[in-house]
Amino acid sequence: MSTTEKQRAAQLPQKMEPRNDGMALDLDWVASVQANTSAIERRAKTLPARRSVKKDHQAAWLLRAITCIDLTTLAGDDTAGRVARLCAKARQPVRQDILDSLGMGPITTGAVCVYHDMIAPARAALEGANIPIAAVSTGFPAGLSPFHLRVREIEESVKAGADEIDIVISRRHVLTQDWQALYDEMRSFRAACGEAHVKAILATGELGSLRNVARASLVCMMAGADFIKTSTGKESVNATLPVSLVMIRAIREYQERTGVRVGYKPAGGISKAKDAITYLALMKEELGERWLAPDLFRFGASSLLGDIERQLEHHVTGAYSASYRHAAG
């Protein structure tokens, strides 16, 4: 890999993006937001075909994608041992011989994402590493537990050492257009997070329309979300390019009006290296290169890393290895 490509792959911001303090709910702004579904879908269809990169350029984009992965395990049978193995993979996501062949130094994933009970094992496994721990919260994935318990869950996860909290919104507030209720809920969750960053999971596959996705994105940002995230990964429809385009443009409009950068996290169903490159290209085209860094962009994924490492090995050796050689943990 050329020196320029290595520098681009390793280039990260020197500090975290400042927190989003939010703003007063502007219902006129919310009501003005529309979504032209046919135009959005046409634009989304052009991305995979037109955004193809090869050789060293592809390797550099894939290395950048790794640094933006929230390496995730959210299974009912999670154990401390499984989380420890996942954290070991987060600390060294690519085999050393592959990195050496690419002329790259150490890299890590953007974060590790777990349930509340797995925060302590993750902290122990990541001691000394500058890798954030994200915890899903607020009655994940449905978000239908009593409100005071959802707030308390956030507080307990922050107390346990979570650096980031992935909350789920109440979908009914979006479906009934009760934007004040959604705003107030998000403000409460934001306050409970304290210094921890908060990602608002919209569960876009359950919101009914792209217009609802756009408006919910805007309301959550007004209420102080540091990231907006597509899905829990548990819905029947998760991250898609049309939904991503809508959410990214809401982020752009919010930044243009307030000067505040909000991050984006597509989650669920992103498992192929080529898809990661497509999402990175979309971020660069719509928001600019500043959003190609882990403090403003994350993939919520568990299997994506394995395919990326497999593609990097092919780049180095010219041969594909079996997928089991690149286990997540």
What pLDDT, on the 0 to 100 scale, is given for residue 13? 46
Give me the percent of the chain exceeding a pLDDT of 70.
92
User: Mean pLDDT score of the chain, rounded to an integer?
Assistant: 93
CA 314 from chain center: how many Å? 26
Q: Is 54 a catalytic residue?
A: no
Does residue 329 surpass a pLDDT of 70? Answer: no
- Would 18 be classed as within a structural domain? no
Please determine, for residue 278, whether its predicted confidence score (pLDDT) is greater than 60. yes
Tell me how far apart the alpha carbons of residues 165 and 199 are, in angstroms, rounded to a whole number.
Answer: 6
pLDDT at 260 over 70: yes
- 319 or 239, higher pLDDT: 239
pLDDT given for residue 14 in this prediction: 46
> Is 70 annotated as catalytic?
no
Residue 294 has pLDDT above 50, yes or no: yes
Write the DSSP string, 115-149: -GGGHHHHHHHTTTS---EEEE-SSTTTT-S-HHH
What value, to the nearest 5°, has the Cα angle with vertex 264 and ends 142 and 153?
35
Residue 159 catalytic?
Answer: no
CA distances from 7 to 10, 28, 57, 60 (A): 5, 44, 12, 9
Contact (CB, 8 A) for 243 and 231: no
Domain membership flag for residue 83: yes
Say if residue 29's pLDDT is above 50. yes
Residue 321 pLDDT level (bands cut at 50, 70, 90): confident
The whole-number pLDDT of residue 47 equals 85
Nearest Cα neighbor of 189 from 171, 213, 173, 165 is 165
**Residue 52: is its pLDDT beyond 80?**
no
Helices in the chain by DSSP H: which ranges? 3-10, 27-32, 37-50, 55-67, 80-91, 96-102, 119-125, 147-160, 171-175, 179-192, 210-222, 241-258, 273-287, 304-317
Among residues 199, 229, 275, 295, which one is catalytic? 229
Q: What is the CATH number of the domain that holds 31?
A: 3.20.20.70
Q: Does some domain include residue 17?
A: no
Report pLDDT digits (tens) over 159-207: 999 999 999 999 999 999 999 999 999 999 999 999 999 999 999 999 9
Residue 156 has pLDDT above 50, yes or no: yes
Q: Given pLDDT bands bounded at 50, 70 and 90, which one contains residue 323?
A: low
Could you give the angle at the alpha carbon of 132 between the alpha carbons of 269 and 94, nearest 5°? 60
Handedness of CA 133, 159, 73, 118 (dihedral sign): positive
Residue 223 confidence class, pLDDT cut points 50, 70, 90: very high
Q: What is the tally of structural domains in the chain?
A: 1
CA–CA dist 223, 19 (Å, integer)? 12
Q: Is residue 89 part of a domain?
A: yes
- Is the separation of the CB atoms in 236 and 269 below 8 Å? no
Q: What is the pLDDT of residue 282?
A: 95
Does residue 15 form part of some domain? no
**Which entry of 6, 89, 199, 265 is annotated as an active-site residue?**
265
Query: What is the pTM for the complete model shown?
Result: 0.93
The rounded distance, in Å, linking the Cα atoms of 162 and 143 is 19
Range of the domain at 140: 3-10+24-326
Torsion over CA: 313, 315, 317, 322 (sign): positive
